[in-house]
A and B are shown apart, each in its own frame.
Chain A
Amino acid sequence: MATVPLPYDAAIDAPLDGHVATAWDSGPPVETGRFGTWVFLASEAFFFGGLLAAYFVLRGSSKAWVEPLSFGLGFTLTGLLVASSVCASISVRRLRAGARRSGSNWMLCASFLALAFLGVQAFEWRELAQEGFTPRGSLAGACFYILTGAHGLHVLAGVVWLAGSGVVLRSGAARTLHAELAALYQHFVDGIWLVLFTLLYLL
């Protein structure tokens, strides 16, 4: 039986020369970046899950829950974000068909619509605050501003990501994967909004 640890033996331990290590590809047949984005979005879903759990607990145990929200504004917001998501989808289809310029245009369009969403949301926040619906005023207000605020920051990231990939596509440098991941992210943010819209504006 050998005495461990074994000492250095140049015959077997000397490094081999001139080799460059290979990066392997195992697992599901998708790009590493796409798989990583899936994992990231799954984790994000748990973040919103935590916020929504708090919302359910507080709303469920509260006797007076008043959300003076305008259905019209909520519907406008939903329309803008869904339209942004659709534009991102069209962009991906155009890119896959090889039309970079048109794909880039649709991407920028998606970014603009998401920006418009933020503009309308800022307007809504100001109106609500003037009516006295503030985060400090009531738990309903606190929940509304934190949920839409956390979501709004995600939309802001989407605006930057979509615009960035739209611009980079124009220069012709980027692979289309980056644009596809931006679109995927936008769909996720859109999906979260549909949940928030249902809970805050409809129920």
Chain B
Amino acid sequence: MSTGAPRRGFLRTWIFSVDHKVIGLQYLVASATMLLFGGLLAMAIRWQLAWPWTEMPIVGQLVFGDVGRVISPAAYTALFTMHGTAMVFFAVLPLLTGAFGNYLVPLLVGAPDMAFPRLNAASFWIFLGAMGLFLAGFFVEGGAAESGWTAYPPLATLPSAAPGSGAGQTLWLLAIVVLGVSSILNSLNAVVTVVKMRAPGMTWMRLPLTVWGLLVAAALQLAALPVLTAGGVLQLSDRWIGTAFYTPAGLLVNSVAPEVAGAGGSPLLWQHLFWFYSHPAVYVMVLPAMGFVSDILSVHSRKPVFGYKPMVWAMSSIAGLGLMVWGHHMFTSGLGFEMGRAFMLSTMLIALPSAVKTFNWIATIWGGRIRLTAAMCFALGFVALFVIGGLSGLWLAATPVDVYLHDTYLVVAHFHYIVFGGTVLAVFGALHHWLPKMTGRALSETLGRWHFLGTFVGLNCVFLPMHQLGIAGMIRRTADPSVYQLYEHLAPLNRFVTWSAFALAAWQLLFVVNVLWSLRSGTRVGRNPWEATTLEWEAPSPPGHGNFDRDLVIDCGPYEYGDAAGARDFRPQARSRS
């Protein structure tokens, strides 16, 4: 290592490290594993929806061997609960704030590490603990949680409500509360690092948009996540102590009154507390991705980001508005007409900054010298699909439309366009862009572009027909649509979606192969393989402990590309050596 740090053993280097880059990679491995796991759960869900109650080949024997190799109704409910939870809380959020947040923030602001390195390591180990609690749910009596990723009471609070409402639900809740602690520590670290540890000359308006995205997301977590934790504490109290925060008076569960003495609580209270975090969580899942995409589009089309300051203001206002729109998840839960109208209005306002960003991305690549790298392909894919997901969101925000479409597959289609079509594509793009920095070896561009093409086509084949299923009225979270006569004609479409999902999942092997091949025999790259301007490209690839091998002075903004920048068509942010 250039910094002359003493060599350490495997354990000190890769396991018990406090280096932000190692912690970032640990998060990357952990959350990518959960992404894979959540994807497999989705395959089981799709199997059931295409061929209800039929024996699963091979997998059925292994997983459902004792129940006749088919998915039971309870197991199906657990499947979609755990799929949603795994993807949102243990895959996508930690991929962005944990993996990329940890790896990139210090590098992009010119710091040697996070502000509190030991706290950073603690946040990862707490995350692993939460992951353990979450996965343990599959192995307890009654099985995993069955109340959806939203854990609405009374299904989630009363142990007698369903098989999975027992120990599985308790473990789920504990996992979410513990995960919250980890995310709060992680976000605190990111905010303090950006505020306090920028290199000389790195002013606020010279920060790359990736940093802005991660910073705004971290601030959002700090404000919203403690509220979910508070709601989780109340729910744990309902389950453990027997309080009745969320249990209404006069409730019957399976025709029996539950044993709760002080009933009179409010199930809606949980929905408010849950969505006060979990709607902003959607923005936590998309703002960093927007940052990555802005950076990738600029670097690979050799042009400055169009409208840098509006981009910053758009991200901040999306976050600010994002704290005031949670009620749009509750239009049909008895929120009331006036409240519904207020939340409809605030939700629709978010379309404004989102549109500012989208037009700015298009203007960024307009007339650029586009290099159609794999990273660029994924970033372009993000922009295209974010538009679809964003517009269907605007549509669902209208209360009259939502009353018809709520809880149908249109909602499922909408958020998968944002999270898969948007965020996950951006993460693939970011991996193609930054993995060479992390490993010192490039991924295969050819394989990467093929992977993009198949993924783009595949995910549209999976999620576009879901709009149609939703408009036809097919409700989500139903284990067997064929029992309703009105869904009978949808069976072929459901099977098409399932086949597409299987193909999409199999296609992801290309990416796994690409990464493994790259680690072994990818082209070795230097400091700056993309001819980019931001600070991470000043450090060696991979950077040593302490990140930079010289002191940095920042002269200019992050997007100095084009002919005006000089002979090389780009001007690095850091003043050159000598």
Return chain B residues, CB-CB under 8 Å to A48: 230
Which of these binds chain B: A25-33, A81-89, A94-102, A155-163? A25-33
A71: shortest Cβ distance to chain B, in Å? 24
A54 contacts B547, C-beta separation under 8 Å: no
Mark out the residues of chain B between 475 and 492 whose CB falls within 8 Å of any chain A CB in the assembled complex.
Answer: none
In the assembled complex, A75 has its CB within 8 A of some CB on chain B: no
Cross-chain contact of B243 among A5, A7, A18, A146 (Cβ < 8 A) = A146
Contact call A150/B243, Cβ cutoff below 8 A: no
> Is B257 interfacial (CB 8 A cutoff)?
no
Complex Cα spacing A5 to B436, Å: 9
B222 contacts which of A24, A39, A141, A145 (Cβ < 8 Å)? Answer: A39
On whether A46 and B222 interact (CB within 8 A), knowing A20-B4, A51-B233, A62-B264, the answer reads: yes
B3, B112, B233, B525: which contacts A5 (Cβ < 8 A)?
B525
B435 CB to nearest A CB, Å: 10
Chain B residues with CB under 8 A of A40: 188
Complexed CA–CA distance, A3 and B82 (Å): 44
Task: Please tell me if A43 contacts chain B, counting CB pairs below 8 Å.
Answer: yes
B546 contacts the other chain (Cβ, under 8 Å)? yes
Q: For chain A residues 34-58, which have a beta carbon within 8 Å of chain B?
A: 35-36, 39-40, 42-44, 46-51, 53-54, 57-58
| A23→B197 contact, CB < 8 A | yes
A17 and B243 CA atoms in complex are apart in Å by: 63
Alpha-carbon distance A155/B226, docked complex (angstroms): 18
Whether B227 pairs with A6 at a CB distance below 8 angstroms is no
Q: Known interface pairs A13-B540, A16-B2, A50-B227. Does A35 touch B192 (Cβ–Cβ under 8 Å)?
A: yes
Asked if A72 lies at the interface with its beta carbon under 8 angstroms from chain B, I say: no
Pick the contact of B226 from A23, A43, A146 — CB < 8 Å?
A: A43
What are the residues of chain A within 8 A of B113 when measuring CB–CB? 23
Partner of B197, one of A6, A25, A57, A137: A25
Contact of A27 among B198, B225, B529 (CB under 8 A): B198
Nearest-Cβ distance from residue A162 to partner chain B, whole angstroms: 20
| Stretch among B127-135, B287-295, B348-356, B548-556 lining the A interface | B548-556
Residues of A within 8 A of B197 (CB): 23-26, 32
Across the interface, B550 reaches (CB within 8 A) one of A16, A61, A145, A150, namely A16
What chain B residues lie within 8 Å of A142 (beta carbons)?
237, 241, 243-245, 262, 265
Residue B470 lies at the interface, judged by CB distance under 8 Å to chain A? no
Please, how many angstroms separate the alpha-carbon atoms of A12 and B245 in the complex? 64
Cβ-based interface call for B200 (8 A): yes
Find out whether the CB atom of A50 lies under 8 angstroms from the CB atom of B273.
yes
| A70 interfacial by beta-carbon distance below 8 Å | no
- Interface residue B115 (Cβ < 8 Å from any Cβ of A): yes
| CB-CB nearest in chain B for A150 | B233
Q: Which of B233-248 contact A (CB under 8 A)?
A: 233-234, 237, 241-245
Once the chains are docked, how many angstroms separate the CA of A61 from the CA of B248? Answer: 12
- The answer to whether A137 and B261 touch across the interface, beta carbons within 8 angstroms, is yes
Interface size class of B (residues with CB under 8 A): 35 or more
B523 at the interface (CB under 8 A from A): yes
A141 CA to B523 CA in the complex, in Å?
66
Residues of chain B within 8 A (CB-CB) of A46 are 222-227
- SS of B interface (majority): loop
* Residue ID in chain B nearest A19 by CB atoms: B549
Q: Which of B523-556 contact A (CB under 8 A)?
A: 523-531, 540-541, 544, 546-551
A114-133 with Cβ < 8 A to chain B? none
A4 contacts partner chain B, Cβ-Cβ < 8 Å: yes
Q: Determine whether B504 belongs to the interface, using a CB cutoff of 8 Å to chain A.
A: no
Q: How far is the CB of B159 from chain A (nearest CB, A)?
A: 15
- Cα A201 to Cα B540 with chains together (Å): 61
Residue contact B202 to A26, C-beta cutoff 8 Å: yes
**CB proximity of A147 to chain B, nearest CB, Å:** 10
CA distance A19 to B436 in the complex (A): 23
> Is the beta-carbon distance between B226 and A6 smaller than 8 angstroms?
no
Interface membership of B116, Cβ < 8 A: yes
Contact residues of B between 401 and 418, Cβ < 8 Å to A: none
Check if B198 sits within 8 Å of A26, measured CB to CB. yes
Which residue of B is nearest A22, CB measured? B551
Q: Are A7 and B261 interface neighbours, CB within 8 A?
A: no
Q: Are A6 and B262 in contact (CB under 8 A)?
A: no
Residues of chain A contacted by B273 (CB below 8 angstroms): 50, 53-54
Name the one of B184, B188, B262 contacting A137, with C-beta atoms under 8 angstroms.
B262
B195 touches which one: A27, A44, A51, A145 (CB < 8 A)? A27
Docked complex: B77-108 residues within 8 A CB-CB of A: none
Q: In the complex, A22 Cα to B233 Cα: how many Å? A: 42
With a cutoff of 8 Å between Cβ atoms, the chain B residues found around residue A43 in the complex are 184, 188, 222-223, 225-226
Flag if B244 contacts A36 (CB, 8 Å).
no
Q: CB distance B112 to A23 under 8 Å? A: yes
Cα distance A130–B369 when bound, in Å?
Answer: 78
Choose among A22, A26, A39 the residue that contacts B188 (Cβ–Cβ < 8 A): A39
Bound together, the chains give a CA A35 to CA B188 distance in angstroms of 10
CA gap between A141 and B262 in the complex, in Å: 9
The verdict on B191 contacting chain A, using a C-beta distance below 8 Å, is yes
In the assembled complex, the Cα of A18 lies from the Cα of B549 at a distance in Å of 8
A5 touches B195 (CB 8 A): no
Tell me the smallest distance from the CB of A116 to a CB of chain B, in Å: 26
Q: Which residues of B contact A36 (CB under 8 A)?
A: 115-116, 188-189, 192
**Which residues of chain B come closer than 8 Å to A26, judged between CB atoms?**
195-200, 202
Q: Is the CB of A13 within 8 A of B112?
A: no
In whole angstroms, how far apart are the Cα atoms of A5 and B371 in the complex?
Answer: 10
B4 touches A17 (CB 8 A): yes
Taking a contact as CB atoms under 8 Å apart, the answer to whether A136 and B261 are in contact is yes
Chain B residue nearest in CB terms to A15: B2
Contact with B265, one of A1, A13, A17, A139 (Cβ below 8 angstroms): A139
**Shortest beta-carbon distance from A134 to chain B in Å:** 8
Question: Do B233 and A8 touch across chains, with their CB atoms under 8 A apart?
Answer: no
Q: Could you tell me which residues of chain B, from 193 to 233, have a CB within 8 Å of some CB in chain A? A: 195-200, 202, 222-231, 233
| B231-A32 in contact (CB<8A) | no
A7 with B524, Cβ < 8 A, contacts A24-B111, A43-B188, A57-B269 known: yes
Provide the bound-state CA to CA distance between A49 and B228, in Å: 11
B274-295 CB mask vs A (1 if < 8 Å, else 0) is 0010000000000000000000
A141: chain B residues within 8 A (beta carbon): 262
Identify 10 new A-B residue pairs, CB closer than 8 A, beyond the known A28-B196, A46-B227: A4-B529, A26-B200, A32-B196, A43-B222, A46-B223, A50-B228, A53-B273, A136-B243, A138-B262, A141-B262
13 CB contacts below 8 A, A to B, read A4-B529, A5-B436, A19-B549, A21-B547, A27-B195, A35-B192, A36-B188, A43-B184, A50-B228, A53-B227, A138-B261, A139-B262, A146-B237
